[in-house]
Amino acid sequence: MSTPASPSPETAAAPVLPAGRAIVLASGSLTRRRMFEAAGIPVAIDPPNVDEAELKRSMLAERVAPRDMADFLAELKAMKVSQRWRGALVIGADQILVQNGVVFDKPADMAHARAHLQAFRGRAHELISAVVICENGAPVWRHIASATLEMRPYTDDFIDAYLAAAGEVVLSSVGAYQVEGLGLQLFNRIAGDHFTIQGLPLLAVLDYLRIRGALGT
């Protein structure tokens, strides 16, 4: 069984920033951005523009383990953006949802979101969140965390009411839910770090940023 090779560096002109000081989030995720804003940590936002769907299809065909998929994609995002930000600490993250060995992706539309929630009903699934920090085009730190979430046996009517109330924001979540809002009503039990569930194990990231002098101690 083969696994994807590490992303190859790209060459590009980039601004020179003080090493270990500037923090860049290689993500277009509003949820991840808000995590840093809520913590009072200024970060530059630079989405990596990678074809995650195609990469996931390739890795699934190769039977790559979900943890390795999340780690690879997080590294790819961070490395790609790191080429443009020399001297900065660039954070890449990815999240994989697994239920009984089946990997779920973000729903494409509301009908797909409804199908997700029907599949999850009355069962437990795992969220795997990986984060990789790169500096000058190379990974310098990585962390993987997971959480187990058990959905209650809600009805189809409840699914429809939930989706109508929550709206298309659910399409930004791999599970078609957001535990920080109405989605909390879908669960019986949650075991895991809140930030891991939201797609970025933030406390571990902050510890590393302090070690590197990017945050106060």
- Is the separation of the CB atoms in 50 and 28 below 8 Å? no
Q: Would you state the pLDDT for residue 21? A: 63
- Is the separation of the CB atoms in 79 and 9 below 8 Å? yes
Q: Would you state the pLDDT for residue 141? A: 98
Element (H, E) at 169: none
- pLDDT above 70 covers a percentage of the chain that reads 90
Beta strand 138-151 with 187-191: parallel, antiparallel or unpaired?
antiparallel
pLDDT at 16 over 80: no
* 3-state helix/strand/coil string of 96-159: EEEECCEEECCCCCHHHHHHHHHHHCCCEEEEEEEEEEEECCEEEEEEEEEEEEEECCCCHHHH
- pLDDT above 90 covers a percentage of the chain that reads 74
What are the pLDDT digits (tens) for 167-198? 999 998 899 998 888 999 999 999 999 999 99
Q: Which residues are catalytic?
A: 94
pLDDT at 12 over 60: no
The CATH code of domain 23-211 reads 3.90.950.10
What are the pLDDT digits (tens) for 35-55? 999 999 999 999 998 888 888
